[in-house]
Every structure is written in C-alpha cells, then in structure tokens.
A and B are shown apart, each in its own frame.
Chain A
Amino acid sequence: MMPRTLYDKLWQSHVVDVQEDGNCLIYIDRQIIHEVTSPQAFEGLRAAGRKLAHPEAMLAVPDHNVPTSADRATVITAQDSQIQLDILEQNCKEFGVEYIPMMDARQGIVHIVGPEQGFTQPGMTIVCGDSHTSTHGAFGALAFGIGTSEVEHVMATQTLILNRQKNMRIDVAGTLCPGITAKDIALAIIGKIGTAGGTGHVIEFTGSAIRALSMEGRMTLCNMSIEGGARSGLIAPDQVTFDYVMGRPKSPKGAAFEQAVAYWKTLPSDEGAAYDKEIFIRAEDIAPQVTWGTSPENVLPITGVVPNPNDVMDEERKIALQRALDYMGLTPGTKLQDVTIDRVFIGSCTNGRIEDIRAVAEVVKGKKIHADVEAWAVPGSGLVKFQAEEEGLDQILIAAGFQWREPGCSMCLAMNADKLLPHERCASTSNRNFEGRQGPKGRTHLMSPAMAAAAALTGHLTDIREL
C-alpha cells in the first residue's frame, strides 16, 4: 500500500460516495454551531420541511454576540444581537440540538468549548460555520470552516460534497527559544508563505518543535492555518492528545477509550508519505512576531522596522502597502518597539486558553500596566475562567490593572459592544488585523499573549526577551 499522509487517511475514511466528476460525498462526524451563521440554515431546513440527520452529532454555543461584561445576565444587549441569541436557543429546542446557554459554566467560544467537552476527538471530521474551525485539527481531526449553505447541508445529510485538497507539510524542527510560543510559530509561517500560501491545501505541521507543544499551543497553531489560506491544519495525534481527550464529558470511556486510542494511533502519516508542498523552518530562527499592517502576512520580528513602500517594486503591492500604513497610522522606518499602544486584548479562539492566561499572569505578576493603556483579558470559556480563578490568575491580572471579563469572542471581531474606538491601537492576541476587524478604523497588532502582556506594561510594542 502507498504510504499515506494523515490527511489522506482522514479523507479516505470518510468517503461515502465518489461522484463521476471526482467530487466526493464526505461523512461529517461533528458540527458545532453558533448564533451568527446558523439562523439561515435552520430557516432553510424549515422552509424545505427537512429534519436534522443527526441532532446528537451537533453542539450549539452562543459566542460571537454575547456580552462579556460582569453584568451580562441582566445587561441589555443590542436588539439585533439578542434576536440572534434567542433564535439559536429556539432553533436548538425545536430541532433537538444540545445547547449550552450563555450563563452556563461551560459556555465559551465554540473552538474552545468543543475540545474542552471532549466533543472534538482525533480521526473525526468536524465542521462549523466559522473559519477558525481549523483549530480542531490540533487533535488530528479533519476540521474546517464552512458557509451557512454547507451548515444546512450537514444538518440535513450529515455529509458534504467536497473535492480533495492537496497535502502540504510545514516542518518546524528544533527547540523554540525562551519566550517564543505557538503564536510566534503561526505568525512566522504566515509571514513566510503569505495569506494564500496554503490555499487549496491541508497543512500538516510536523517536527520536534510541534511535538513539544501542549494541546493549547497546537490549537493556537492550527487555528491560524486559515490565515495562511489553508482551510484545515493538522497535527498527528500522540500521547499529549490522548491525555488531553481522556476523561472529558463527551470523550469515550473505559474500553471504548482504549479502542479509540488504538485507532487514533494508526492515524499519523506513514513513513515516506508524499506531500505536494513542503516548508522547513528551524525553531531557533523564530523571534517574537508582531504584525504591522492589515493582513496577517504583514508580520515581522519585534526587532524590525515599519517597511517602506518605496522599497517594493511591484506597483500593486506598493499601493497595498501604502494603504496598510495609512490605515495603521505608521511611518516607514519606525522601530516596531517604538509604536505606542492604547489597548490590550487577551482572548479569542486563538489565545483564550488557560496556558495563555498563565503566560500573561507570569509577565504582569506584581507589576502595573502602563497608565495610558486599557487592558482586557477575556477567557475563552467559562471553564478557562474558572480554572484561572482557581489558580489565582484573575487576581494577578486585576492587581496589574487588567479587566477580567466573561467568556466570548469579544474584541476579536467586535460584533458585540467590545470594540476599539477609531484610531485606537491594540496589542491583540487574536487572529486577524484586517481593516475594521476590531472596530471601525481600529488598529490591530497581532502577537502572542506574553508579548501583549509586555506591551501592556510598557505602553509600547515590546520584545518579551528584554523584559
């Protein structure tokens, strides 16, 4: 038998039917839904008189729109947000989908809740109407974001019609330097391949630096695959994965778990499996990363300077670069470390996990944030929040001057009240620095939680290694 990649195995084990035109009907094991991209799908089912194929294979959590203020049980949410939240609850009741309400201790961002609940497991196909579904690939599951029409297709049929992607491997060998995290790996990769570098591919991350990452770090890395153009990222499951999955509410138990692990161990790519594209990176070469522009590929080591459009030959790129600098209010040649910030956002499906909160606490413990900075920590889920509070991390952050908020997507996409004011500059642990992403005319610099914490202390972008 030809050696196969992890992706080949995941794909082949889910092919229900091969169409004459080469497209495949692929079985979907799990679907997670939230309030923003599901209402039209439920409405479509209702209009066509269709039922859910497998309501038990779905899990619903409100996250994009929920308030993150302490008074959120009673606070009056914007009416349009409230309608989406109410409709999600009604739809779940009507169609028999498990729904985790906003005030439930387990509520949080879909991509944090799925893994926490053991809903996410290796070897599965997992979809959600959200591009950061790539996060779940950290478990060796084929996970990808879909549009609302596909959400409806999965609801009605438990399948999707897909064409096979190409195999891409990104190998990160060696040992990360102190202060360097999975977020830095992700940003460094996007800087290298560009935001379309992974288009049409599934990226498998391999190498000793990847194996050394915790599940939290692996999720951060796979989460950002989509910013490199790949709908899915993958990391082969290993003991770290099995240990994380074991004992969670929806994980297999006892003999079933043993049976599952035996299967999961067959998933890693075979020796000699072929990839269509391979990239090799040395872990030691990765410095703390920070974005300066309006695309995740506009990224540099923190020791860099704001680039000059005049240094670019291609006319279209020159215009794009100038546009990014104008939007960001930056002057070419400015040292990144001299860029002052107004806000700090710790959170999102990229960096809203316990390890991220710990990293921030370690940096700010016993210190005060800069007087001109407003800093927020928004745990990715109620369970992350609870764990952090058990460890006293909330008190460390609050003492340093952070706001400690309730879980949700919050200022990662600014759909609720959490947003930047025009021209405010934010050191953010989220995933996108697009124009207007964190609020109209808001300016986003993406970085790791430790780097964002360092910026909170000094009031400017800061090299964590020098703090």
Chain B
Amino acid sequence: MDKFIKLSAIAAPLPMANIDTDMIIPQQHLKTITRTGLGKYAFSHIRYHDDGSERDDFVLNKPAYRTAEILVTGENFGCGSSREHAPWALKDFGIKCVIAPSFADIFYGNCFKNGLLPITLPQETIDLLLDDAGRGANAIITVDLETQTISGPDGGTVSFEVDPYRRHCLLNGLDDIGLTLEKKKIIENFEAKKRLTQPWMFQDE
C-alpha cells in the first residue's frame, strides 16, 4: 500500500452532503477485475455530459482543480454501497485525502486500505477550508499525518483525530493482512476453544 505521510496540494471544494458511492463510481464501471484504471470514471454522472464531453460546472473539470489531490466536501460522504471501487476511483484520479464533516462507516474504512486519508472535522472548520479551497492553486493546503495537522495557505493550523492503528498503517504503508498473519497462533487458539464450545459453527465438524 502507498504510504501517506505529508501532502501539500490543491484542494477542490465539493460542498454537497450525502455524496454516495454510486455517485463516486456508478455501477456500470464495477465490472472490472482489477483495482486500477477507475479514475476516468470517478463521479462520471456529474462529471460528463451524455456525449462523454466534460461538464464545465463540475469542480474537478475546472482548470484550477484538475490537479487537486485533496477534496473538501459535505457530510456523510461515501454513504451507500460498500464498493471499494469508490476509493480506488478517487485514488486513481489523484485524490489522496478527503476532508468532510462526517463519512459513512464502510467507505471510511475502505480509504485507509488504499493509502487514502479521510479526515473528519467540524462543519465550521470545513467552511474555512472550503473558502481556502475556493482559491484554487493560490491556496495550497498541507496535510501532515505525522503531526495530525492541516495547515492552510494563510498560516492557520487545525488538528485532526485519526485512529492510531490506521495512522500507523498509513504512515508506514503497511499491509494489515501481513500484520494479522503474525497473530496466527492466537487465532488458532481462539478457534480451537470455539470448536469445543460451539462445534456447530464449523462446517467441517
């Protein structure tokens, strides 16, 4: 997994609440067997006209935001389907950090598995960041996961909270399957005990 340590980038404002994963990546683009190449379909319903041409009114199509790597958005971002294609599409497009007042649980967890940092902040702080983001390339925002701070273009800094385990994995680009497999013995002991007390739960009993 890609590490996430520190990022200084253009932030795109997308102040809509309840952006669902169907909107982030519509169902017709889920027929893939790889994790890559979905960036061109990210937000396709609101990003393109029916003929495939770009919509001028969509923020990531505007010249100032085509290279944005941070998205500042509304509450309950990523609600709906569990499709990990949503963070895959964002990441493939170039988005490495999403900042919102709240996230849907499954999407939030999926981000961390893909080197994408979701940050939850109070609406007042989001409003300030949206103002900064509105200034495009004139307002580079710096997200530092080590110090858990966001610095705006005018010197202001805000702190954010993140689960320590997820932070550790992101900072080091760790594959958590590998980490869990180091606990194989503990898992096997748990299973052995469970087989004694709840044998019916095991299909091979």
Complex interface: chain B residues within 8 A of A256 (CB): 199-200
Complex interface: chain B residues within 8 A of A343 (CB): none
Are B45 and A435 touching (Cβ within 8 A)? Answer: yes
Are B76 and A23 touching (Cβ within 8 A)? Answer: no
**Chain A residue total in the interface (Cβ 8 A):** 76
Docked Cα-Cα span, A437 to B21, in Å, equals 10
Docked Cα-Cα span, A392 to B74, in Å, equals 49
Docked Cα-Cα span, A156 to B181, in Å, equals 8
B152 at the interface (CB under 8 A from A): no
Our pick among A25, A147, A159, A436 for the contact of B113 (Cβ within 8 Å) is A147
- Scan residues 298-327 of chain A and give those whose CB is less than 8 A from a CB of chain B: 316-317, 320
- Scan residues 148-188 of chain A and give those whose CB is less than 8 A from a CB of chain B: 148-150, 152-153, 156-159, 161, 163
Closest-by-CB residue of A relative to B176 is A161
Docked Cα-Cα span, A83 to B33, in Å, equals 8
Closest-by-CB residue of B relative to A198 is B105
Docked Cα-Cα span, A440 to B28, in Å, equals 9
Q: Give the distance to chain B from A211, nearest Cβ to Cβ, in Å.
A: 25
**Is the interface on chain B under 10, 10 to 19, 20 to 34, or 35 or more residues?**
35 or more
Our pick among B16, B26, B35, B177 for the contact of A50 (Cβ within 8 Å) is B177
Are A157 and B177 touching (Cβ within 8 A)? Answer: yes
Our pick among B15, B26, B81, B180 for the contact of A153 (Cβ within 8 Å) is B180
Are A415 and B27 touching (Cβ within 8 A)? Answer: yes
B147 at the interface (CB under 8 A from A): no
B80 at the interface (CB under 8 A from A): yes
Are B194 and A27 touching (Cβ within 8 A)? Answer: yes
Complex interface: chain B residues within 8 A of A130 (CB): 81-82
A65 at the interface (CB under 8 A from B): yes
Docked Cα-Cα span, A25 to B33, in Å, equals 28
Interface flags, B174-197, vs A, CB<8A=1, else 0: 011100110110110011001000
Q: A27-B190, A131-B81, A434-B20 are in contact. Are A161 and B180 (CB under 8 A)?
A: yes
Are A316 and B31 touching (Cβ within 8 A)? Answer: no
Interface centre among B27, B76, B83, B186 (most CB of A within 10 A): B27
Are A158 and B187 touching (Cβ within 8 A)? Answer: yes
Docked Cα-Cα span, A200 to B27, in Å, equals 26
Q: Give the distance to chain A from B160, nearest Cβ to Cβ, in Å.
A: 17
Our pick among A17, A54, A149, A436 for the contact of B183 (Cβ within 8 Å) is A17
Docked Cα-Cα span, A252 to B74, in Å, equals 47
- Scan residues 77-92 of chain B and give those whose CB is less than 8 A from a CB of chain A: 79-84, 87
Our pick among A21, A145, A199 for the contact of B82 (Cβ within 8 Å) is A145
B75 at the interface (CB under 8 A from A): yes
Interface flags, B106-148, vs A, CB<8A=1, else 0: 1001100110000000000000000000000000000000000
Question: Which of A34-42, A212-220, A274-282, A351-359 lies at the interface?
Answer: A34-42
Our pick among B23, B102, B110 for the contact of A147 (Cβ within 8 Å) is B110
Closest-by-CB residue of A relative to B205 is A256
Docked Cα-Cα span, A16 to B183, in Å, equals 10
Complex interface: chain B residues within 8 A of A320 (CB): 16-18
Our pick among A146, A156, A158, A161 for the contact of B106 (Cβ within 8 Å) is A146
Our pick among B16, B200, B203 for the contact of A259 (Cβ within 8 Å) is B200
Are A229 and B76 touching (Cβ within 8 A)? Answer: yes
B22 at the interface (CB under 8 A from A): yes
A124 at the interface (CB under 8 A from B): yes
Complex interface: chain B residues within 8 A of A111 (CB): none
Docked Cα-Cα span, A56 to B203, in Å, equals 6
Interface centre among B83, B176, B201 (most CB of A within 10 A): B201
Our pick among A39, A54, A129, A413 for the contact of B27 (Cβ within 8 Å) is A413
Are B33 and A436 touching (Cβ within 8 A)? Answer: no
Are B83 and A440 touching (Cβ within 8 A)? Answer: no
A196 at the interface (CB under 8 A from B): yes
Are B163 and A21 touching (Cβ within 8 A)? Answer: yes
B171 at the interface (CB under 8 A from A): no
A340 at the interface (CB under 8 A from B): no
Q: A196-B79, A229-B76, A260-B200 are in contact. Are A84 and B31 (CB under 8 A)?
A: yes
A195 at the interface (CB under 8 A from B): yes
Are B165 and A23 touching (Cβ within 8 A)? Answer: yes
Q: A16-B187, A415-B28 are in contact. Are A29 and B82 (CB under 8 A)?
A: no
Are A157 and B23 touching (Cβ within 8 A)? Answer: no
Interface centre among A19, A130, A159 (most CB of B within 10 A): A159
Are B22 and A432 touching (Cβ within 8 A)? Answer: yes
Docked Cα-Cα span, A65 to B27, in Å, equals 10
B34 at the interface (CB under 8 A from A): yes
Q: A147-B110, A156-B181 are in contact. Are A196 and B80 (CB under 8 A)?
A: no
Complex interface: chain A residues within 8 A of B181 (CB): 50, 156-157
Q: A57-B203, A440-B45 are in contact. Are A17 and B186 (CB under 8 A)?
A: yes
Q: Can you offer 10 A-B residue contacts whose CB atoms are under 8 A?
A: A19-B165, A21-B164, A27-B190, A48-B177, A133-B82, A150-B113, A157-B180, A257-B200, A320-B18, A435-B45
Residues of A within 8 A of B (CB): 16-17, 19, 21, 23, 25, 27, 29, 36-37, 39-40, 43, 48, 50, 53-54, 56-57, 64-65, 78, 80-81, 83-84, 87, 121, 123-124, 129-131, 133, 144-150, 152-153, 156-159, 161, 163, 195-196, 199-200, 226, 229, 231, 250, 252, 256-257, 259-260, 263, 295, 316-317, 320, 413-415, 432, 434-437, 440
8 more contacts with CB within 8 A, not counting A39-B33, A157-B187, A434-B23, are A16-B183, A27-B187, A83-B31, A163-B163, A231-B105, A414-B28, A415-B28, A440-B45
The 7 closest A-B pairs by CB, nearest first: A149-B113, A147-B84, A252-B200, A147-B110, A80-B31, A145-B82, A39-B33
